[in-house]
Structure 1
Amino acid sequence: MDSPREPAPAGCLLLLVAVQIAYPLTDGSARDVVTVAVVLASAGTALIHAAVTRGLRYAAGFGVIVSGIGLVAEAVGTATGFPFGAYEYAVGRLGPALFDVPLVVPLAWTGGIYPIWVVAGILCRTAAPRIAATSAGAVGWDLFLDPQMVADGQWWWADSDSGLPGLAAIPWTNYLGWFLVAGLIAGALTVWDRAAPPTRRVGVPVLMFLWTWLGSALAHAVFLGLPYSAAYGGVALGLLGVPLLVRTVRTGLGRNDVPGGDAAGPVAWRR
């Protein structure tokens, strides 16, 4: 029987959708508040889902691994320019900072990586492909994230003229850095995943992934005036999204779709 606590991740996801819809409707300091709220709702959805479905210990470890590696990578990045290129954050707009990195930023890594990690696990049966898929998915997510935040003045690069066509302000080295850091995170999560039994209840992170992919593409193209990031992010995150949709339409999403699950047959998405 389902635990009565399991509606909690779905409620968090609804809150995440609501605050993200509010983003293009705000500007100035109100938009900064909404940006922080998006990060908190995203990380909250991820960690509450992980705790409800795989245990508090697993969720805590997931958060420490992803946010910890993310914070170290960002701190090194702002100090040295490696591995993302030389960049800096706006002062005071996203709340308190540590090592010149707003503390919400490592939480953003947790909220963003979690659905990608789950979807990569559905699509990939072994560790190496899952790590590669997670890294590629993280780059796809960043093709939405960085253009949006640069356009809003939350951070910027010293080299603002060597990026992709239409996104010149973000150097190509940033995406290589994302691929490397996400690969490091995915490698650590591969080990940590052994700390708790797998779960069939992946509906919330799957919907979170689809909302990030399709909702971001729509928002960038229609509401934020960012057509290039809409196209780049839509295609890149679609490398996971399209196979996910095809697999779901053809076979349904069952317990054997989750790494470590058995082959007892398909079941519906569950929270």
Structure 2
Amino acid sequence: MIEGFLFEELGVHTGFPFGYYEYNFPPYILGIPVAVILAWGIFSFLSSLALIPLKGQMKKIFLFPILMVTIDLAVDPIMVTAGAWKWLTVTSPNWFGIPYTNFLGWFLVSLIIAVSYFPWNKVIRWKERNTAFYLLLPLDYFLLIFNFFLHAKPQLTEPLLISTIISALLIGGIYSWSFKGG
């Protein structure tokens, strides 16, 4: 959450790493919407929960940014359509009007979060990860994105369907790896 906030603060003022954008989503802390700050924490938490069944910090460090970007593939079109923020950076290609620089930025920030978190997090051991409870945690991640799809405005059906399919494939891969001992 702290890393997300710091990079949002940097991004609003410099355009790095996401591109240039403006918020219209009060209340703010130092120009960043409180909801955006909280979203970095919530999305990081759900993405890290999805990775609990996996052994190996490198797999988690690699997959965490992909999970985070997949969430943003769903969230950003929703928020732009709602008028919560506006993109000033225009790129080609783009994701339904969202510049690709945003997703590169999300990947970079999420990689920094993963590198700062996973090597040090040894709280949940593999034996505990085999319990049914821990094997259900990746579903929370999928259900977040699926919920966005279920409640999408008609003009958002395509990006949210695509992000839902990507999330299902990612969670399927995580389950496949975890059941193969990985």
- Equivalent AA in structure 2 for residue 192 of structure 1: W
Q: Which residue number in structure 1 is paired with residue 168 of structure 2? A: 238
Counterpart pick for 2:63 among 122, 127, 133: 133
Work out whether residues 114 and 205 of structure 1, in 8 Å CA contact, stay in contact via their aligned partners in 2.
Answer: no
Contact 2:12/2:20 (8 A) holds in 1: yes
Alpha-carbon contact 2:142-2:167 (below 8 Å) kept: no
TM-score, normalised relative to structure 1: 0.58
Deviations 1:32-69 (A, max 9, x none): xxxxxxxxxxxxxxxxxxxxxxxxxxxxxxxxxxx110
Moved over 6 A (4+): none
Matches within 5 A, 1:256-271: none
Distance 1:202 1:110 in 2: 20
Q: Give me the TM-score of the superposition, normalised by structure 2.
A: 0.83
Aligned equivalents of 2:158, 2:74: Cα separation in 1: 9
Largest Rg, 1 or 2: 1
The count of corresponding residues between Structure 1 and Structure 2 is 177
Give the one of 50, 54, 59 matched to 1:119. 50
Higher RCO by CA contacts (8 Å cutoff, separation 6 or greater) = 2
Question: Do structure 1's residue 146 and structure 2's residue 76 form an aligned pair?
Answer: yes
1:88/1:157 contact within 8 Å kept: yes
23, 26, 29: which one pairs with 1:98? 29
Instruction: Give the SS at the match of 1:162.
Output: coil
Q: Is the 8 A contact 1:84 1:174 kept in 2?
A: yes
1:78 aligns with 2:9: no
SS at match of 2:86: strand
Q: Is the Cα–Cα contact under 8 Å of residues 137 and 239 in structure 1 kept in the other structure?
A: no
What is the one-letter code of the residue matched to 1:103? V
1:143-168 Cα shifts (integer Å, max 9, x gaps): 00000000000011112453436x0x
Within 5 Å, give how 1:1-271 maps onto structure 2.
67-90=1-24, 93-95=25-27, 97-122=28-53, 124-160=54-90, 162-164=92-94, 167=96, 169-194=97-122, 196-198=123-125, 199-200=128-129, 201-202=133-134, 205-220=137-152, 223-244=153-174
> What's the Cα RMSD here?
2.5
Deviations 1:69-115 (A, max 9, x none): 0100100010100000011111xx432x1221012212111111212
| Residue 228 of structure 1: how far off its partner (Å) | 2.6
Deviation by residue 1:206-262 (Cα, 9 ceiling, x = unmatched)? 332121132223333xx45302312331233234122246578xx5xxxx77xxxxx
Q: What SS does the aligned partner of 2:115 have?
A: helix
Q: What is the CA deviation profile of residues 123-142 of structure 1, one whole-angstrom value per residue up to 9, with x for unaligned ones?
A: x4222221111111111000
In 1, the alpha carbon distance for the partners of 2:177 and 2:5 equals 34
Percent identity between the two aligned chains: 27
Q: Distance in 2 between matches of 1:138 and 1:107?
A: 14
Tell me how far apart the structure 2 counterparts of residues 102 and 215 of structure 1 sit (CA, whole Å).
Answer: 22
Structure-2 change in CA distance of 1:245 and 1:203 (3 Å): closer
Partner amino acid, structure 1, of 2:46 = P
